[in-house]
Structure 1
Amino acid sequence: MKNLIPKNLNIDAVSGVLLVVAAIIAMIIANSSFRAPYENVLHTYVLGMSLRHWINDGLMAVFFLSIGLEVKRELLEGALKERETAIFPAIAAIGGMAVPALIYILFNRHDAAAIDGWAIPAATDIAFAIGILSLLGNRVPVSLKVFLLALAIIDDLGVIIIIALFYNSELSTLALTVGMTMVAILLLMNYLGVTKLVPYLLVGAILWTAVLKSGVHATLAGVVLGLSIPLKGKPQQKSPLKALEHDLHIFVALAILPIFAFANAGLSLDSFSMGDLLHHVPSGAALGLFLGKPIGVFCFSWLAVKFNIAKLPSDIDMKEIFGVAMLCGLGFTMSIFISSLAFGDANAQYDTYARIGVLIGSSLSAIVGYIILAKTLPKAPNP
C-alpha cells in the first residue's frame, strides 16, 4: 500500500506553510498603505485579461490538470482502483460534501443572492489537508494517509462536477463546438496510442481557450486534458501521465497554490466589523467547513462501517477518522475559488464575507484536526 502514497508527499507540508504565509502577507498588504498598489497590480490587463483573471483561470487550470492526472492514476492503479479501498473514502466524501452544503443553505435559505454560494464549504483543500497530516510524520498509519488522499481526490472530483453543472455563465455555441472538437481529438489521440505529451498539451491549450470563451469555466479544460493523458507509454518509455504529474506537482504545490492564495486572500477589513461575523454568509461558510465537514465525513464513515458497506482498516480507529474528518474542513483554495465563481465582482461584499468565513473555518479545522490527531495517533512511529 505504500506505493499509493506519493514519494514527494512532504512537498505538500511545505505547500501548506507557503499557503498560510502567502495568505497572511496578502491580508497584511490589503489592510495597509500598500493596498492600492496590490489591487492595481492584480487588475493590470495582459492580453485582454487582468492578472488576477490569468491566475484564477490560467494557473488554476494547471492545478485542475494536476487533479485530473491524479484522479486518473488513482482510478487505474491506485487507491480508487479496487472497490474495497475506494468505497470507504467515497462514502465519506459524499457526506463531506452534502452536510456542509446543507449547513450553508440553512443559514442562507432566505437570501436568494447568498444561496449561490452553497458549494463553498463543500470543498477540501487537498494540498493543505495532506500537508497538515504530513507534519505528524511517521506516526500516521499508511492506511490513514490513503484514506485522506482518496477522500480528498473524490471530493475534488465532486467539486469539479458541481462547477461544471452550476457555475457557468451564458454559453457560446461556437466556442463550445470548438471545445468539443478538441475533446474529440484528445480522445482520438488516446485511442490511436499517441503517447507524446506535446500533441496533448497543444490541443489542451486550444481547448482551454475555447472553454474560456464558451461560458464554461476554463479550469475544467485542465481536468479534461488530465483525464486524456495516457497512463502507459510505449515500450521502454516512462508513463506520460506519471511524468507530467511529477513535473507539475512541485510547480503546483510551491508556486501556483501560494500565488493563488496571495492574489485572493488579500481582503480589506476596513468596512468589516466583528458583528459582520454573524452575517449568514460568513457564518454559513465557516460553520459549513468547521462543523459540516467533520460531521458529514465522520457520520457517513461510521454508518458505512456500522452497516458493513465498507471496512475500517485494521490499523486505524474511528478516533483517527474523526481527526482526519476535521482536517477535511480545510477548504481554503477550493472554497475561495468557488466563492469567486459564486459571487466575484458582481457581489463583492458577499465574496468578501464568504472568504472571511472560509479563512476562519479552515484555520479552526487545521488547528483542531492537528490537535486531535496529535493526541490520538500512536506516539511511536509506524513501521
Structure 2
Amino acid sequence: MATGPRSRPLFLGVLPWPERRAVAHALRTETVGGLVLLAAAVVALAWANSPFSGAYEAIRDFHFGIPALGLDLSVGHWSADGLLAVFFLVAGIELKRELVVGELRTPATAALPVVAAVCGMVVPAGLYAAVSAFGGGGLSGWAVPMATDIAFALAVLAVISTHLPAALRAFLLTLAVVDDLGAILVIAVFFTSDLNVWALLGAVAGLAVFYVLQRLRITGWWWYVPLGVVIWGLMYNGGVHATVAGVAMGLILRTTRDDDEVTSPAERTGFLLHPLSAGVAVPLFALFAAGVTVSAGSLGQVFTSPEPLGVVVGLVLGKILGIFAGTYLAARFTRARLNPDLAWADVFGLATLGGIGFTVALLIGELAFPSTAQGEHVKAAVLVASVMSACLASLLLHRRNRLYRRLCAEEDVDADGDGIPDIYQRGDAARTASGQAD
C-alpha cells in the first residue's frame, strides 16, 4: 500500500519493486502448481467414477508405515498428514515473510488484508451455522467453508487468461496467507483429541532445538531434515494435526539475511520446497481427497442436506460478502483511497475467487467428518462450490480484462532496458514505490 496526496493511504496502488519481485516469484510457482492441482482433481474424479474405482479405493486405503511408532497410516492419510506438512511449512515461510518484510509488517499495511481475511472466514462460518441449523443439521463442519485455495484460484486466472495487476494479485496472496493462518489455528485448536503430553513436549523441545540451530547460524540439510521428521512424528503422536509442525518450523526460519548471505534461510528453503509443495504434495493430496462419487443422488444431497448446503452457501456467498464487506469497511475506517485506475467492482471480482476453497477445505472436511457418508457429501459440496466460484470469478474478472491488460502493460514498460520498469523511476511513483520498500 502506498501513500498518496493529503497523507491518505492508497489501496491497491503500485507495489514496491522488491515486494513486486517477491510476489511475482511466489505466484509463478503457485500458478503452475495450481494447474497441476486442477489436473489431479480431474483425474481423481474421473478415476473414482470409472469402472476402476475399486483400484482407486484400494490404493487410497492401503496402509503402510512403522506401527511401533504409531505411524501405520493409509496412503490417503499419509497425503493429508505427511505431504500437506510440506505445504504448511511453505505457508509458514510465506506468513513469516509477510510479517517481516511484506504487507503485514506494519499495522497500517496489514489492516486491510487482515480485516478482509478475518471477515472472509467469520462470515462463511456463520452462514454455514445458520443454514445447517435451519435445516436441522449439526455444526461439525462450520470451519470447512473458511479456507481459500490460492493455487486453485491462480490456476483459474491462468486458464481464463486474466491479466490482474500486481497489486490485486498481491492482495489475493496476502488474503490467502492470513486465511492459511486462520485454518492452522482452527485445526490446532478444534481438531485435536487424545493429547499425548509427553509427545507434545518432545515436539516443543524439537522446535526449541530448531530455533537454537537457526540462531546459531548452523546450516546443512542433514541437521534440519531429520529434526523436522522427528518433530512431525512427535506432533502427530501428540494428538495435534501434524501439519501444525510444518507451520511452526516455517515461522522459526530466519527471514532476514546476514551481510555474508545472498539469501535468508527462509528464502532458500521456500525456493527449494515451493515446487515440491505446489507440484507434488498438494496434487497428491488432491488425488486421494477429491475422488468422490458423482451421481444425481450425491449432487442432490449437496443441495438438500443441511451440512453440504451450508458449505456451498458459506464458500460461494459467504466468502464474497465477508471479503468484500471487510475490505470496504476497513478502507473507510482507515480512510484509504482506492487506486483511481480500479473500481470496487474489481475487489468484488477478487472476492469471488475466495470461494475456491479446495485443498484446506477438503482437509478440514476430512477432519470434521472422518470416514462417514456425510463426509463424502461435504467433499462434493467443496468441489461444487469451488467450481461455482471459479465460474463466477471468470465472468466478473474477464469482462474487466481489457483494463487489466492495459495496467499490466504500463507496469512492465522498461524503455531504457535496465531491468526495472519505468514506473519505478519517474516522479512520485518512484518515490512511493521504491522508497517505501527501502
- The answer, yes or no, to whether TM exceeds 0.5 is yes
Bigger Rg over Cα: 2
Instruction: Give percent identity, aligned residues only.
Output: 35
Q: CA deviation at 1:375?
A: 1.3
Matches within 5 A, 1:187-206: 187-206=211-230
> What is the DSSP-based 3-state SS (H/G/I as helix, E as strand, rest coil) of the residue aligned with 1:362?
helix
Letter in 2 for 1:68: G
Matches within 5 A, 1:95-134: 95-109=119-133, 114-134=138-158
Q: CA deviation at 1:251?
A: 1.5
Matches within 5 A, 1:19-98: 19-47=37-65, 48-98=72-122
Q: Deviations over 1:333-357 (max 9, x none)?
A: 1100100111121xx1111111111
Letter in 2 for 1:83: P
* Contact 1:108–1:114 under 8 Å retained in 2: yes
What is the distance in 2 between the residues matched to 1:300 and 1:332?
A: 22
Cross-structure match for 1:160: 184
Seen in structure 2, the aligned counterparts of structure 1 residues 70 and 123 have a Cα distance that, compared at 3 Å, is same
Query: Which residue of the other structure, out of 246, 251, 261, is the alignment partner of 2:271?
Result: 246
> What is the DSSP-based 3-state SS (H/G/I as helix, E as strand, rest coil) of the residue aligned with 1:116?
coil
What is the distance in 2 between the residues matched to 1:295 and 1:198?
A: 47
What is the distance in 1 between the residues matched to 2:299 and 2:391?
A: 21
Seen in structure 2, the aligned counterparts of structure 1 residues 13 and 3 have a Cα distance that, compared at 3 Å, is closer
Seen in structure 2, the aligned counterparts of structure 1 residues 225 and 311 have a Cα distance that, compared at 3 Å, is farther
Q: CA deviation at 1:132?
A: 2.7
Runs of 4+ that moved beyond 4 A: 110-113, 134-138
Q: Are 2:304 and 1:278 aligned?
A: yes
Q: Deviations over 1:152-179 (max 9, x none)?
A: 1011111111111101121011111111
What is the distance in 1 between the residues matched to 2:205 and 2:337?
A: 43
Task: Calculate the TM-score normalised by the size of structure 2.
Answer: 0.82
Task: Calculate the TM-score normalised by the size of structure 1.
Answer: 0.93
> What is the DSSP-based 3-state SS (H/G/I as helix, E as strand, rest coil) of the residue aligned with 1:46?
strand
Seen in structure 2, the aligned counterparts of structure 1 residues 286 and 113 have a Cα distance that, compared at 3 Å, is closer
The runs of 5 or more residues in structure 2 that have no matched partner are: 1-14, 66-71, 411-438
Q: Are 2:324 and 1:298 aligned?
A: yes
What is the distance in 1 between the residues matched to 2:346 and 2:159?
A: 15
What is the distance in 1 between the residues matched to 2:46 and 2:203?
A: 40
What is the distance in 2 between the residues matched to 1:246 and 1:191?
A: 21
Matches within 5 A, 1:149-188: 149-188=173-212
Q: Are 2:398 and 1:374 aligned?
A: yes
What is the distance in 2 between the residues matched to 1:363 and 1:354?
A: 14
- Of stretches 168-177 and 195-204 in structure 1, the one that deviates more from structure 2 is 195-204
Seen in structure 2, the aligned counterparts of structure 1 residues 138 and 49 have a Cα distance that, compared at 3 Å, is closer
Seen in structure 2, the aligned counterparts of structure 1 residues 342 and 361 have a Cα distance that, compared at 3 Å, is same
> What is the DSSP-based 3-state SS (H/G/I as helix, E as strand, rest coil) of the residue aligned with 2:334?
coil
Cross-structure match for 2:432: none
Letter in 2 for 1:27: L
Q: Are 2:349 and 1:323 aligned?
A: yes
What is the distance in 1 between the residues matched to 2:289 and 2:381?
A: 14
Seen in structure 2, the aligned counterparts of structure 1 residues 152 and 43 have a Cα distance that, compared at 3 Å, is same
Cross-structure match for 2:69: none
